[in-house]
Amino acid sequence: MLETGRSRSYCVRKSKVWWAGVVLGGVAIACVPILLVEYSLNTYVERSARAKLESLARSALGLAEIRLESSMAALVDLSSVVEGCDQRSLEMMRKAASASLPIKEIGVLDESGVTICTNFGDVGEPRAVSRELPLADARFEIGLIRFRDRNDRALRLRLDRKNAKPLGALIPADFLVPDTLDGDFQDGRSLRLVMDNAEIIAARPVGDEGMSIDHTRTLGVHLKSERFPVAVVVERTRATLAEEYRDLMTFGRVGSALITILTFAFFALYFRRNRNDPLVQFREAIKNGEIVPFFQPTIDIRIGKLVGAEVLARWQRPDGVMVSPANFIPLAERSGLIYPMTLALMKRARAEVGAIHVNRPHINVAFNLYAGHFANDSIIAELKAIFENSQIGLSQIVLEVTEREPLPDLDLAREIIERLQKLGIRVAIDDVGTGHGGLSYLMKLGVDMIKIDKMFIDAISTERHSQTIIETLLELARTMNMEVIAEGVESFDQVEYLRRKGVHQAQGYVFAPPLPAGSYIALVEAMDAGVAAKPEAAASAA
């Protein structure tokens, strides 16, 4: 009872672990759609937002370049007519400034860049000029102007002349960026026109000129001019992207959640179905070592000596429940799992009862083979790999060929049997007279022994024809020099009948049922001790 309780507890724990594994695995697999959809949505949103920012940056940079080029052309036109700060030159500068939209002020400069006079007559309010940068046209330089009494900024184009003082054109910063209302930049977007020395010329929204750029929280595009030492930086905070694309993100996430639920449900049903699928269960049973060998003893009925055992497959679940062979052997044969099952039985039997064969060369161990084992000669290499260097010698192996399915090629089967016999392995035909082979197997396969089926043994005392069949098989076996084993012997009357007819070996419940390895080993050792005790008793009596 204690052992049964432990087995049930183990089974419950294993079931819980299995379900936990299924749940965790299902969650991990089901999360894949969520991650893929989330990644795809974020990628799409970022790509779409970046494309809009690039379009805005190109438009803004194009505007700045057009107005700078227009101002340069205006200065070049003036350079030939403005000589200094005389009245005529001032008038010409006033006309040029009013005719050119971007230019607010035109002035004459000294060699150091200080303004001498402007189209307004005087120099005007105090101002500071940044380091001027050269343009592709070597006559021009550009610098940032800051007014000391207000926050306005402007760019100054400086045109150097060979025989006259330089001219300067002042372009307000707001004229170099799009005439867009500040409200258009309240959704997290910002635009900055900057010089190559990183000084900010103008910004949208207004007043954003002094703010630092945080690339970790913003999505940005940097577009540099090829003709001027300026660039446009357009950015948008990542937080506002979610708001703009909220409907799309919501739709995508709901869709991914539905896919996740369906995926999880599919895998849960799949694993549940597989768990309840007998074929899957049986395959796992072989893999997990749940198919165990039981040993049906074979007795020499002349002297009561144990001469070996037939290995029978039993399915023992982790909770100790034994599955009847009638419930899994047909499944194994139909599915082809009979072949890995047979190899697993051989290896398990070698490990469990190999030790008792080392000093008992007269004890054999028999395994059932099926028609498919003789479709090619791979069984030979498999037997050698398992038993050639094991405690069970090849000469102690008996292979029983069942008649339940017809052999695919009798000639090939005969060749394989001959090669097995050369290794010392003996071959028997199992259930003679009940399957497909009949007498043709006896005639063509050259086997070493035959096994009389339980059906005939059961009818010994009730069916006259059964005795006739047994006697015919015995006579045929003697003629062909084959050993005979009777299966399914369940009474002493049957034993006496078989002994009288010259049958030497038998199996059945009258001797012992199929035994687990431990019980079979104990039986072998007990019978050996009994045989050893008989000579000692005889010597004492003498």
Rounded to whole angstroms, the Cα distance separating 301 from 506 reads 7
User: Which pair of tokens denotes residue 62?
Assistant: 């194009």
- pTM for the whole structure: 0.55
Of 98, 272, 388, the C-alpha closest to 280 is 272
Do 50 and 287 touch, CB atoms closer than 8 A? no
| Amino acid in the structure at residue 256 | S
According to the 3-state scheme, what is the secondary structure of 321-353? CEECHHHHHHHHHHHCCHHHHHHHHHHHHHHHH
User: Which pair of tokens denotes residue 504?
Assistant: 């030497």
In total, the chain counts a number of residues equal to 542
Domain 282-541, CATH class in plain words: alpha beta
Q: Does an H or E element contain 426, and which? A: strand 426-432
> Consecutive 10-residue runs of the chain (542 residues): their mean pLDDT?
41 51 58 71 81 90 92 91 90 90 90 88 77 91 85 90 90 84 61 89 71 65 92 85 71 72 67 68 90 95 93 91 88 90 95 94 94 90 93 95 81 93 93 64 85 86 76 86 92 92 93 94 86 49 46
Rounded to whole angstroms, the Cα distance separating 36 from 44 reads 12
User: Which pair of tokens denotes residue 237?
Assistant: 């905070």
- For the chain, give every domain's residue range: 9-276, 282-541
Helix axes 278-287, 338-353, angle to 10 degrees: 30
Kindly list the distances between the CA atom of residue 181 and the CA atoms of 67, 178, 206, 220, 244, in Å, as whole numbers in the listed order. Answer: 19, 9, 10, 20, 19
Half-sphere exposure of 337 (CA within 13 A, CB side): 18
Rg over CA atoms, the chain: 51
Kindly list the distances between the CA atom of residue 280 and the CA atoms of 15, 275, 289, in Å, as whole numbers in the listed order. Answer: 16, 7, 14
Q: Does an H or E element contain 39, and which? A: helix 2-79
Do 442 and 429 touch, CB atoms closer than 8 A? yes
User: Which pair of tokens denotes residue 126?
Assistant: 């105090």
Residue 303 makes CB contacts below 8 A (sequence gap 6+) with: none
User: Which pair of tokens denotes residue 327?
Assistant: 């419930």
Beta bridge partners of 292: 314
Rounded to whole angstroms, the Cα distance separating 29 from 264 reads 7
Do 105 and 120 touch, CB atoms closer than 8 A? yes
Do 511 and 297 touch, CB atoms closer than 8 A? yes
Rounded to whole angstroms, the Cα distance separating 443 from 438 reads 9
User: Which pair of tokens denotes residue 436?
Assistant: 């497909």
Note the pLDDT of residue 214: 56
Note the pLDDT of residue 21: 57
Note the pLDDT of residue 180: 63
Output the CA angle 326-329-330, nearest 5 degrees.
Answer: 85
